[in-house]
Structure 1
Amino acid sequence: MKKTTSHVALILSLMIAGAAQAKVPAAEADKLGKELTCVGAEKAGSRDGMISAYSGKWLGTPPGIQYTPYAGQHPIDPYSSEKPLFSITADNVAQYESRLSSGQKALLARFPKAFRMDVYATHRDFRYPDYVCDAARKNALHAEVVDGGMGVKDAVIGAVPFPIPKGATEVLLNNTFPYRAFSEDTVRDLANVLSDGRVSWGRGHNTNINRVNGVANAGEPLDSTMAYSRSLVLLPEREKGILTVSIEPVNFVTGKRLAWSYDPGTRRVRQLPEYGFDQPLGGSGGKMTIDSDRLFNGSPERYNWKLLGKREMFVPANSYKLHGKTVKYADLLKPGVPNADFIRWELRRVWVIEGSLKEGSRHLYGKRVLFIDEDTWHAVMSDFYDTRGTLWQYAYINHYYAFDLQGWQPGTAFYHDLNSGGYVGYNLFQERDKGPILNKGNLNVKMFSPEAARSAGN
């Protein structure tokens, strides 16, 4: 009874706080595709010229590159001939600190010889398909926040719900519903790199269906389900064969994140009583939580969110070199920090939002600051603080424009524990035969049921 009463109280409080936030008038939506890109980024470059103006000259595979779509081919770098403009190190950090996060500055201080940031020319050369632009305009005119940020109404499939956001909640929901692959099939590695350089390995076969994107249903209203996910453990051996399927709702008040797990030892499927928040992500050694995948995912209910504005910052971008098939883990995963030779940093504009843990709520992170790229609406970096307010972790995701997706794909991410000096290399596929197989369209929702998990295990 106490749990039911608390849940009702939460819903009532969210409904009171969640009066629908205004959609933008037509005159403002008309900026999309003009002074703004079709998904809401500023087209103009920065005053100092370091951030280039948006060109959007390429859709899909650029000229001169041989690429086979929907086959898991590793990314090919269209900027492979470029050299860094300069490097940010512990010696010159003061010159650039206004464009760095607290986590970046902490890594520079802790690993002054190993961590550096090679800064390259900023490129904004890729664009989205026309149907994404059409969906973004519809959403700008009609989509609204409901239930205190726990959901969206009157949004359509195919683009972020709020290309012209007015507050933190809308920015966060854009990160929840970015344009991304509607189907994905990946075998990926996870490396828990200890402070002395030793590595504990994990591997999984992950498949996903993202229901809020896809050309076949673009422009149609969102339904109640956001995504389906399935994860089969391949490593370590002691966990091999564990299979988890999950379902993600569009609205966390009217729906719930559900998950089931098949245990090969008992040959049984059980529903997980809770899935998400600060449950540790398997194989990460406590350096990642379920809701820190993609830097933030799931219900936003445990935090108060505040918009800190838009900043020009050095963030990972156009990260093709890192994901090449010739990259070896032994060369990449070094003690303390990954090999800086593989990481590309660019100056870009990012939205900055801060989540502070609500009084009475529980989470390992007392505060989390998210940096969300204006061109892609993907979170690219995050600073994580413990419940005492001390900076604890810094993480960043290396995105690249996937030619078969015609949009940005989150690639390998690094999650740094600033206390222990260790880190996790997450979503590694450099040494796998194939990279992510995107938008092949060969997955169906029946593959993500408890019954399917039981059949796959048996």
Structure 2
Amino acid sequence: MRRFIQNGAQLCALAVSAAIVTMAYAKTSAEDIARLDGPLTPIGAERAGNADGTIPAWTGKWLGVPPGIDYKAGDRYPDPYANEKPLFTITAQNMQQYAARLTDGEKALLKKYPDTFKMIVYPSHRDFRYPEDTYKAIRTYAPKTTMTADENGLKDFPPVAPFPVPKNGVEAMWNLRLASNLECESATYDQAVVYPDGNIAWGKVKYYIYGPRGAHPYEPNNPLVDKTFSRVQTVLPLSDRGTIIVSYDMWDQQGSDTRRTWTYNPGTRRVRQSPEFGFDQPLGPGGFRTVDDDRLFNGSGERYDWKILGKREIYVPYDNYKLMDPSIKYSDLLTKGHENMQYVRFELHRVWVLEATLKSGFRHQYAKRVIYLDEDSWAALAADNYDGRGMLWRTNLAPSVYAYDAKIFYPTTTFYHDLSSGAYYADRLTNQGEMPILSPTSNMTEAFFSPDAIRGDGN
């Protein structure tokens, strides 16, 4: 991961700036930890509802499978709110009535597709919770959590929400990076780029994640606890079939090389280290999105200055169990211009608004990103990405569900809209495929994610 520094003077300035910023980061205070059992939830959200009652108070009454739901591991997640009726629908014609609770990207989509893009709004829910050992780990380790001098690593931190009461944008960014900590994820995801004329470029990947930090119960003494491993094997497009990428992130390290990546090329049958993998490297069918677009932001935040713009009440895609329903065919979901909005559920939730502005001397396709983080999970639900001219270029939606087996909030099909070209990309499609396996226990090992493993499996 290469930094582009213009001269020695700038390097010195960055070093001084980093030292000053690091001094501003304090461990979570005892007073803030006490608030997690009072006005805040155990993960740092506001426990109360909003003033007009359209956002309910957090109950956290359900851990795992809700009462009355027929589910066993490996099944699709049944929708606990399937019988609810919409409250109203936001369209291009009435959007001004709801403008204060819309993102700039949602407004742009309503304006660009006035006849077809709509947001169907349902009652809001805050019913699910994380396992108690996760909350205990936050209370135990958040007061000890420290950041490395360059902000690229953490020490003595819990499995999620290392900064449950963030004081600045970098701390909120770290909460986002750790929001989806799973011990094990095994899935085959379909992918599709839908062009303005309706033609589709298909992709398919086999996807594996192994993160000991996400184990239940949390095991801080596991020697691999500060690493997360991934393995992605391309099935489609045919031109890339057989390509395998393995990597691991080191959460507790500083420096610009906290991710190690290797790629198996089926054409040469060779494995090579890929030191530049990450950031705005194109990924997916046609290179439609960037590596760090995964889950709307993924990987090191070193190229940006991070700032919390505050909290807002926003209509966001939430409780989208329907997007994993096998009865919904891709031909019905993937319509021209944008996804078929009758299958996307929106709810009103409080979100942290996190702004990332590209640092001087660094490069990225996105000069600015505005990311909307769910207060109850720290996961990104929407993101607006701006080009170098300051124009809104791509707006993305990451509908979520609560995964009954893993007991964590989890992204379903994610949509990346290119406002310039009129194309969009659908990632993590599973309707016509297999249900992802999210297991609180794992038989994966470090060896499965090694260069030797993909060299053997690729031949």
Report TM bin, short chain. Answer: over 0.9
Q: Distance in 2 between matches of 1:375 and 1:219?
A: 24
The 5-angstrom pairing of residues 332-347 of structure 1 reads 332-347=333-348
User: Do the aligned partners of residues 179 and 220 (structure 1) sit closer, same or farther apart at CA in structure 2, a change above 3 Å counting?
Assistant: farther
Any conservation in 1 of the 2:145–2:154 contact (CA below 8 Å)? yes
SS in 2 for 1:123: coil
Q: Secondary structure at the match of 1:19?
A: helix
1:34 aligns with 2:38: yes
SS class of match (1:238) = helix
Contact kept, 8 Å, 1:223 with 1:250, in 2: the verdict is no
The one-letter code of the counterpart of 2:27 is: K
Residue in 2 aligned with 1:143?
145
Distance 2:152 2:118 in 1: 39
Equivalent runs, 1:297-316 vs 2, <5 Å: 297-316=298-317
Contact 2:358 2:367 survives alignment (8 Å) = yes
Aligned equivalent of 1:293: 294
Q: Kindly provide the CA deviation profile for residues 34-66 of structure 1, in whole angstroms up to 9, marking residues without a partner as x.
A: 221110111100101100111111110011112
SS at match of 1:331: helix
The CA distance in 2 between the partners of 1:222 and 1:22, in whole Å, is 26
| 2:50 matched residue in structure 1 | 46
The aligned residue for residue 75 of structure 1 is 77
Superposed, which structure 2 residues align to 1:40-439 within 5 Å? 40-69=44-73, 71=74, 73-156=75-158, 158-178=159-179, 180-220=181-221, 225-251=226-252, 253-254=254-255, 255-283=257-285, 285-439=286-440
Matches of 1:455 and 1:15, distance apart in 2: 45
Identical amino acids, percent of aligned pairs: 43
Runs of 4+ in structure 1 displaced over 4 angstroms? 2-13, 219-224
1:251 to partner: Cα distance: 4.2
Please give the secondary structure, in 1, of the residue aligned with 2:412.
strand
Contact 2:4 2:362 in 1 (8 A): no
How far apart in 2 are the matches of 1:424 and 1:303? 25
8 Å Cα contact 1:188/1:203 also seen in 2: yes
Amino acid at match of 1:399: S
Distance 1:28 1:3, change over 3 A: closer
Gaps of 5+ in 1: none
- Which one-letter code corresponds to 1:365 in the other structure? Y
The normalised TM-score by structure 2 is 0.94
Contact 2:192 2:426 in 1 (8 A): yes
Given the superposition, is the C-alpha separation of residues 172 and 230 from structure 1 closer, same or farther in structure 2, using an over 3 Å criterion? same
Instruction: Give the gaps of 5 or more residues in structure 2.
Output: none
SS of the residue 1:147 aligns to? coil
Residues 314-352 of structure 1 deviation map (CA, whole Å, 9 limit, x = unaligned): 101111111112121001000001111110000000001
Q: Is 2:28 aligned against 1:24?
A: yes
TM-score, with length taken from structure 1? 0.94
Cα distance in structure 1, aligned partners of 2:218 and 2:37: 22
CA distance change for structure 1 residues 456 and 97 in 2, over 3 Å: closer, same or farther? Answer: same
Q: Secondary structure at the match of 1:98?
A: helix
Matched-pair contact (CA < 8 Å) for 1:366–1:385: yes
The AA in structure 2 aligned to 1:75 is Y
- CA change 1:224–1:401 in 2 (3 A) is closer
Contact 2:213 2:220 in 1 (8 A): no
For 2:60, the aligned partner's letter is G
Matches of 2:92 and 2:439 in 1, distance apart? 39
Q: 2:318 touches 2:401 (CA, 8 Å); kept in 1?
A: yes
Distance in 2, Cα, partners of 1:39 & 1:108:
33
d(CA) in 2 for partners of 1:95, 1:124: 25
Number of residue pairs aligned between Structure 1 and Structure 2: 453
Residues 341-380 of structure 1: CA deviation (Å, up to 9, x unaligned):
1100000000011111111111110100010000001011
Deviation at 1:148, TM superposition (A): 3.9
Q: Aligned partners of 1:447, 1:267: CA distance in 2, in Å?
A: 18
